[in-house]
Amino acid sequence: EYLPEIANGCICPEDAKEELLNECESIWKHIEECQSKLMLLGTETLVQSDAKLSLLMMRVKALTAEYNQWQKRSPEVISTNPDVLLALGKEELQKVKNDLEMLLSTVQSKNKQLEEDLKREQQWHEEQEQILDALNGFEEEIKAQVQQLPKNGGFQELQNQMLKLRMYREELLNALGKFLEEHFPLPEKGRRAEKKNSSEEPAVELITLNEILEILINKLMSTPHEPYVTINDSFWPPYIELLLRYGIALRHPEDPNRMRLEAFH
């Protein structure tokens, strides 16, 4: 609980205030006399060579004497007037009260910040536990799937199947290449397509239908999100029309100079 506020009517009477001022003035006069004596003691001339050392020694002696005096002295009450002591005591309590209120406000603010940090840490901890549980469940599923696989020769069997598929793929590609080479040869062996814009530039070698299909297939498999190929002068126009007419390839809806393979898979 906060201490009660000190009322303005609790100020000491005029006679007590006057007595306190007189005591302070007498103490100040005594301090001035002591300071004057110290100034007179420090006016002695010193030799230039050992002036610094002498000043330090005098300062040590003065500090030692002051230390001894403070050790011998006992705390003295400024005034014995009860009204003055009561006013001073209330003023000191008011200062302590203000300091405690500031300290309480600081501690409350710090506690609020710590509570918010604790809530965030608890939420983060719960999220991490949920992730850990999900990962543990996924690990259990993987272990169950691994246990269901055949123990003897399971991996070897998969490798054999992959090898058979690769061999079958090579056979299909070879058969397709022979078929296209036999039934769709270039119009004239060694024929070159001249560029339309300039007859001085070097001619472009035409490519076979098999190479065109290979380019389209590789483009579709490597970049399925962008399967279109730019049609250049090495593509023989009748082959392009053949692929487009039978639905093997499709033109770009906005650019007629680009085409793609139909996604049969």
Tell me the per-residue pLDDT of 148-177, one tens digit each, with 9 for 90 and over: 766 555 677 888 888 999 899 889 888 888
**Helix, strand, coil % over all residues of the chain, rounded to 5:** 65, 5, 30
Measured distance CA(52)–CA(168) in Å, rounded: 105
Q: What is the pTM of this model?
A: 0.37
Q: Quick one: tokens of 252?
A: 């770009």
CB 193 within 8 A of CB 233: yes
> Domain extents for the chain?
83-149, 151-184, 205-264
Residue that is written with structure tokens 């680009």 in the block: 258
Is the CB of residue 172 less than 8 Å from the CB of residue 214?
A: no
CA 102 remoteness from chain centre: 35
The yes-or-no verdict on residue 65 having pLDDT over 70 is yes
Please, what's the b/e burial string for 11-34 (b: 16 or more CB within 10 A of its CB; e: otherwise)?
A: ebeeebeebbeeeeeeeeeeeeee
What is the residue-averaged pLDDT of the chain? 80
**Of 46 and 232, more confident:** 232
Give the pLDDT of residue 185. 79
Report which residue type is found at 128.
Q
Show the DSSP H helices in 14-81 as ranges. Answer: 14-41, 51-72
**Amino acid residing at 157:** E
| pLDDT value of residue 126 | 92
User: Does residue 215 register a pLDDT over 80?
Assistant: yes
